[in-house]
Amino acid sequence: MDTQVIIGIVVVVVPLLALIAGTGLVLRRRRQISLTDTQTQTVDGGREVDKSGGYRAGSGFAFSQGGTATADPEAAGEGVAEEAERILAETQPDVVRPVDEDPLAQLPGTQVPVDDDAMAVETAVTAAETEAAEPETAEPETAAPELDEIAPTEGRLSRLRGRLARSQGAIGESMLGLLGAGDLDDDSWEEIEDTLVMADLGTAATEAVVTALRAELATGKVRTADDARGALRKVLVEQLHPQLDRSVRALPHAGGPAVVLVVGVNGVGKTTTTGKLARVLVADGRRVLLGAADTFRAAAADQLQTWGERVGAGIVRGKEGADPASVAFDAAVTGIDDGVDVVLIDTAGRLHTKAGLMDELGKVKRVVEKKAPVDEVLLVLDATVGQNGLTQAKVFAEVVDLTGVVLTKLDGTAKGGIVFRIQDELGVPVKLVGLGEGADDLAPFEPGAFVDALL
Ligand SMILES: Nc1nc2c(ncn2[C@@H]2O[C@H](COP(=O)(O)OP(=O)(O)OP(=O)(O)O)[C@@H](O)[C@H]2O)c(=O)[nH]1
């Protein structure tokens, strides 16, 4: 063949083959399913930020993102910057990172105090890393503590329903007994009212339940015991406002980690709840940092540290009597620097005057907001204290903007009805319930499952 013809064929065929191969590759790529989670998006610093909003990541717990705004010192109030700087200059909280994550913790005796200057932390970390890289001079490594196995987070409320057995007697059995007896006379209705009041529903919720039940019975469709149970279930679930958003705003956002404040009077179960919540988040694959801002009682910080160590969560704690706001602030700073997903701050509740509470909690929130928005303020209430709990709740609601309630010790009371009142009177949803002293005895509050457990 003539050389010119061969050159001509090469000139035409090679680009054609290249074109066919290129088109095929593009089409093949388009047909491939992307394994990248479209719900997440990488932001500055390479940390993945969950964009899913409310989700149930393999657990019955719903978590969501709070505000995405970065902390604005102006928005945090006048003089807050100065206030934060002053209290930070006065105190030096300690940071204890989990052994397997913290280069400092690879070396013995490395629970170094960290001051407010992030540079100091970085310098210390770099020094420790350098040391760790030279095994001949380094001390033997401390063995990582064994981490707890966390009980499955799915279906917790159903699994723990036996714990509500005491409440069951109060609402379920007697109400169903009365409703199942057929036509109800005035005495029976009065007895129903008494049962509901005794179970701590309060007058407003009791009246609402009774009115709705009368309406259900008036339809004439309630003939059997099963019908009665169905009608009662429907009415009680409606009274619990199932449409309320009960997701805990504990997911990181573009501004940094989520910040959750846990508040309440002493003894209600704040520290325990903070620890239990950390476990749920860790089980869902989140990196958690704890802030021990309850500085009134050294044991409270020890208790929280133990909770953290059991699941590999770090902690920022201060000396006994340190300013809680400075510990909370430092927890936020450390959480941002370490790129954790969520900072859970346990606060003190040992305040007997509203003014004192106002000062302290208000300050904790303001100072934290200098660094990061507070996404969730969870009020912990002890279900066994009844009316007193509501009075406390109202004081807290005046001091900080509550976003959710955790009702603890529901396993030890016949007064599960308090759930109805809290929501009605505070206008804040019950998001979580404590059903025992065990590490995994925390469940999401689900109206349907809760009422099923009562009936
Ligand atoms: N039965 C039961 N006990 C609980 C529950 N939650 C907490 N507790 C217990 O309540 C007690 C007080 O709990 P803490 O977590 O120390 O309470 P706190 O509010 O942090 O208390 P202070 O640190 O004193 O402010 C502990 O004995 C807990 O085990 C629950 O849901 N059920």
Instruction: Round to whole Å and give the CA distance between 287 and 308.
Output: 11
* Per-residue b or e along 267-303, where b marks 16 or more CB atoms closer than 10 Å to that residue's CB: ebbbbbbbbbbbbbbbbbebbbbbbbbbbbbeebbeb
pLDDT of residue 306: 95
Residue 68 assigned to a binding site: no
Query: Does residue 342 have a pLDDT over 70?
Result: yes
Query: Does residue 182 have a pLDDT over 80?
Result: no
Give the pLDDT band of residue 170 (cuts 50, 70, 90). low
Distance 434 CA to ligand 1 centre (A): 9
Its ipTM equals: 0.97
In the structure, which protein residues have their CB atom closer than 6 angstroms to any atom of ligand 1? 264, 266-272, 294, 297, 300, 349, 408-409, 411-412, 434-437, 441
pTM of the model: 0.74
**Token reading at 352:** 């007997």
Q: Which atom of ligand 1 is nearest to the CA of 348?
A: 25
Domains annotated for the chain, with CATH where assigned, are 158-239 (1.20.120.140), 248-447 (3.40.50.300)
Q: Which atom of ligand 1 is nearest to the CA of 412?
A: 1
In the block, which residue shows the tokens 């008036």?
218
Instruction: Round to whole Å and give the CA distance between 168 and 195.
Output: 12
Distance 266 CA to ligand 1 centre (A): 9
Instruction: Round to whole Å and give the CA distance between 178 and 193.
Output: 11
Q: Tens digit of pLDDT for each residue in 45-68?
A: 444 433 333 334 334 788 998 864
Distance 437 CA to ligand 1 centre (A): 7
Instruction: Round to whole Å and give the CA distance between 75 and 198.
Output: 45
Query: What are the DSSP E strand ranges found in 37-93?
Result: 40-42, 48-50, 63-65
More confident residue, 230 or 87: 230
Instruction: Round to whole Å and give the CA distance between 272 and 288.
Output: 15
Q: Tens digit of pLDDT for each residue in 428-452?
A: 999 999 989 999 999 999 898 888 8
Burial of 73 (0-12, 13-18, 19+ CB in 10 A): middle
Q: Which of 261, 272, 409 is the best mutation target for the ligand 1 pocket, counting ligand atoms within 8 Å of the beta carbon and taking the most?
A: 272
pLDDT of residue 166: 54
Query: Taking all residues of the chain, what is their mean pLDDT, rounded to a whole number?
Result: 74
Give the pLDDT band of residue 227 (cuts 50, 70, 90). confident
Q: Tens digit of pLDDT for each residue in 360-395?
A: 888 999 999 999 999 999 999 998 887 788 888 888
Q: Which of 160, 437, 440, 442 is the best mutation target for the ligand 1 pocket, counting ligand atoms within 8 Å of the beta carbon and taking the most?
A: 437
